[in-house]
């Protein structure tokens, strides 16, 4: 009995095993989704590197662990402001996408 692959290997292998769909439109959607996933992973890696450089070579957890109370409170305020900005941008992007889809 063949064992299932583990970890990051499983999804690409499962997708590749069924990659040749009889529906070209589904193949196109799958390719686009896989491209988006690859791009998001690259962006995440780039952000990790940027954060690490900005925190003096430390990970975010290591950096935060060494902060005092006042610094943690400042970080909390900045993080909440950033979350609000991201949420607003996401809502604007979603509503624009809905608007664009409606005009097709």
Residue 104 has pLDDT above 60, yes or no: no
Per-domain residue ranges of the chain: 8-66, 67-104
And the tokens for 64? Answer: 């935060």
And the tokens for 19? Answer: 């990659």
Centre a 10 Å sphere on the Cβ of residue 55 and count the other Cβ atoms it contains.
15
pTM of the predicted structure, to 2 decimals = 0.42
51-97 confidence digits (pLDDT tens): 888 878 888 788 888 899 999 999 899 989 999 999 998 888 777 66
In sign, the C-alpha dihedral spanning 46, 49, 55, 56 is negative
């Amino acid at each position: 009995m063949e064992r299932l692959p583990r970890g990051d290997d499983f999804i690409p292998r499962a997708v590749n095993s069924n990659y040749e769909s009889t529906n070209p439109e589904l193949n196109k959607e799958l390719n686009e989704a896989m491209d988006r996933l690859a791009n998001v992973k690259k962006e995440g890696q780039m952000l990790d590197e940027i954060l690490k450089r900005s925190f003096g070579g430390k990970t975010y957890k290591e950096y935060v662990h060494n902060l005092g109370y006042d610094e943690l409170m400042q970080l909390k305020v900045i993080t909440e402001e950033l979350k609000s900005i991201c949420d607003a941008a996401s809502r604007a992007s979603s509503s624009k996408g809905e608007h664009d889809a409606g005009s097709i």
